[in-house]
């Protein structure tokens, strides 16, 4: 039975990846940080019905002794480093934490692999945010990076360290440059989930309005379930490499609203308000990825269309509000903070 160690296993991608690996008969271990709110830990794994099928080991990415101890305990064949402070807007409020967890935390994992289990294959969760102020209209593995947030800068450091460990130590270390991917398990603060949760509340009469920031930005959105398949495929290759994972279609926040509200029979203009406080200090206006390399080398293609993804999310949020099974209680975003969106 192959063994996989997943950091960030309690997050969106970690949960779907664990589900995929279990279906492929892996023994799945997850690094999980301790929380005082123990009752909500593992909520996504529970939602997928796999909480009791994974081994959770306490630790923290910023603690090298944790990463070495866990590597020694598990001796995994494959390591998926998904753990991060992953929300761009929060990275302006917590730039040092973001740099430490998202940037240096990756090096703690790379070091643990190098020291304890150098034959393990390593996956790094790189991000399309690294393209930031885009240097080419369609982004490929060769497009220069221009990070526009502390999150993107931290991810870029982690990305280059992964390349560095591959080239310096011959490690089987790959980076997936993943464009935005969503699901009913997406964090409530990200725009897709904020919109589908808003649609559900408005539809059920629990709210009247939804306040958003920049409606003109566009993103290349796919389904998380499709994207974790690409992570696994990368580690099955003979040679480690970097791959763009995207759909090749970009859609504005405005059109996202139209799709989500119309799925519930609502008119988005009747409910969406824009507010300054949701604007970011620096914006990534457009992201559009070219996944040709992944298609040719990995045989990977996305299977879920944006309309179907949004429909699934709206339905899940309506069901949650109806059943009061909130995956994550919507947080009030403090008004008057420039990076609240
Ligand atoms: P989530 O925010 O849903 O999950 C992040 C995970 O990291 C959680 O399990 C969280 O644990 C964990 N984590 C945070 N800080 C630490 C820490 N100090 N030590 C250990 N674990 C920690 O992210 P996603 O699942 O959406 O994304 C997975 C990865 O892919 C992230 O690295 C993200 O930056 C990257 N990515 C995501 C994209 C997307 O569109 N989803 C696009 C491109 C890249 P806890 O539950 O305790 O908070
Ligand atoms: P990101 O691409 O990782 O930053 O993913 P997000 O879902 O957080 O944001 C995607 C885009 O939506 C960005 O351009 C945001 O500026 C824009 N956006 C507009 N309104 C909001 C909002 O209320 N919340 C969030 N999170 N993003 C918003």
In the prediction, which pLDDT does 87 show? 98
The confidence score (pLDDT) of residue 340 equals: 40
Percent of the chain scoring above 70 in pLDDT: 95
pLDDT band at residue 341 under the 50/70/90 scheme:
very low
pLDDT band at residue 332, thresholds of 50, 70 and 90? very low
* Ligand 1 centroid from CA 54, angstroms: 18
pLDDT at 334 over 80: no
Which protein residues touch ligand 2 with a CB less than 6 Å away? 88-89, 129, 180, 189-191, 194, 212-214, 217, 219, 253, 278, 280, 283-284, 341
Kindly state the average pLDDT of the residues 43-60: 96
pLDDT at 339 over 60: no
Which pLDDT score is estimated for 122? 99
Q: What is the pLDDT of residues 248-268, one digit of tens each?
A: 999 999 999 999 999 999 999
pLDDT band at 38 (very low <50, low <70, confident <90, very high): confident
Q: 6-9: long-range contacts (C-beta < 8 A, 24 or more apart)?
A: 6/30, 6/31, 6/79, 6/80, 6/82, 7/31, 7/61, 7/79, 7/80, 7/81, 7/82, 7/83, 7/105, 7/109, 8/80, 8/81, 8/82, 8/83, 8/84, 8/125, 9/45, 9/54, 9/56, 9/82
151 flagged as catalytic: yes
> Is the pLDDT reported for residue 328 higher than 60?
no
pLDDT digits (tens, 9 = 90+) for 89-126: 999 999 999 999 999 999 999 999 999 999 999 999 99
Measured from the alpha carbon of residue 63, the closest ligand is: 1
pLDDT higher than 80, residue 314: yes
Helices (H), 217-305: 224-235, 253-263, 292-293
Query: What CA–CA distance (Å, rounded) separates 325 from 341?
Result: 25
Instruction: Specify the pLDDT at position 323.
Output: 86
Q: Where are the domains of the chain?
A: 3-186+223-248+288-303
Q: What is the pTM of this model?
A: 0.95
Q: What is the pLDDT of residue 325?
A: 52
- List 91, 127, 149, 183, catalytic entry: 127
- Identify the active-site residue in 26, 80, 126, 129: 129
pLDDT at 337 over 50: no
- Give SS3 for 141: coil
| Active-site option among 16, 123, 131, 151 | 151
Sign for the CA dihedral angle at 313, 318, 323, 327 comes to positive
- What pLDDT, in 10s, does the model give residues 200-229? 999 999 999 999 999 999 999 999 999 999
Q: Which residue ranges have their beta carbon within 6 Å of ligand 1? A: 7-8, 10-14, 31, 33, 35, 60-62, 82-86, 101, 105, 125, 127, 178, 180-181, 187
- For residue 127, indicate whether it is catalytic: yes
Specify the fold of 3-186+223-248+288-303.
Rossmann fold (3.40.50)
pLDDT at 41: 81
Both tokens assigned to 318: 């309506």
Q: What is the pLDDT of residue 324?
A: 65
Cα 95 to ligand 1 centre (Å): 16
pLDDT band of residue 333 (cuts 50, 70, 90) is very low
């Amino acid at each position: 039975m192959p063994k996989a160690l997943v950091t960030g296993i309690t997050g969106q991608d970690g949960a779907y990846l664990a589900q995929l690996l279990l279906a492929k008969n892996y023994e799945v271990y997850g690094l999980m940080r301790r929380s005082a709110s123990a009752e909500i830990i593992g909520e996504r794994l529970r939602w997928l019905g796999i909480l009791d099928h994974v081994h959770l080991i306490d630790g923290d990415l910023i603690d090298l002794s944790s990463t070495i101890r866990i590597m020694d305990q598990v001796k995994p064949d494959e390591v998926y480093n998904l753990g991060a402070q992953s929300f761009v807007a929060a990275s302006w409020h917590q730039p040092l934490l973001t740099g430490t967890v998202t940037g240096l935390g990756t090096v703690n994992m790379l070091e643990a692999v190098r020291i304890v289990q150098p034959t393990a294959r390593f996956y790094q969760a790189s991000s399309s945010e690294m393209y930031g102020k885009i240097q080419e209209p369609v982004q490929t593995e060769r497009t220069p990076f221009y990070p526009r947030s502390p999150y993107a800068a931290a991810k870029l450091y982690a990305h280059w360290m992964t390349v560095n460990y591959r080239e310096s130590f011959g490690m089987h270390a790959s980076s997936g440059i993943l464009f935005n991917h969503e699901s009913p398990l997406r964090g409530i603060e990200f725009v897709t989930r904020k919109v589908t949760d808003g649609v559900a509340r408005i539809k059920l009469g629990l709210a009247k309005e939804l306040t958003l920031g920049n409606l003109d930005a566009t993103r290349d959105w796919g389904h998380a379930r499709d994207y974790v398949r690409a992570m696994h495929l990368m580690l099955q290759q003979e040679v480690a490499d970097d791959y763009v994972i995207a759909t090749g279609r970009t859609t504005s926040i405005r059109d996202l609203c139209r799709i989500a509200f119309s799925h519930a029979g609502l008119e988005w203009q009747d409910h969406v308000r824009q507010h300054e406080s949701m604007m970011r200090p620096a914006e990534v206006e457009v992201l559009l990825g070219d996944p040709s390399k992944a298609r040719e080398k990995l045989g990977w293609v996305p299977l879920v269309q944006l309309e179907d993804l949004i429909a699934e999310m709206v339905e899940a949020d309506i069901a949650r509000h109806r059943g009061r099974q909130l995956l994550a209680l919507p947080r009030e975003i403090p008004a008057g903070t420039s990076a609240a969106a």
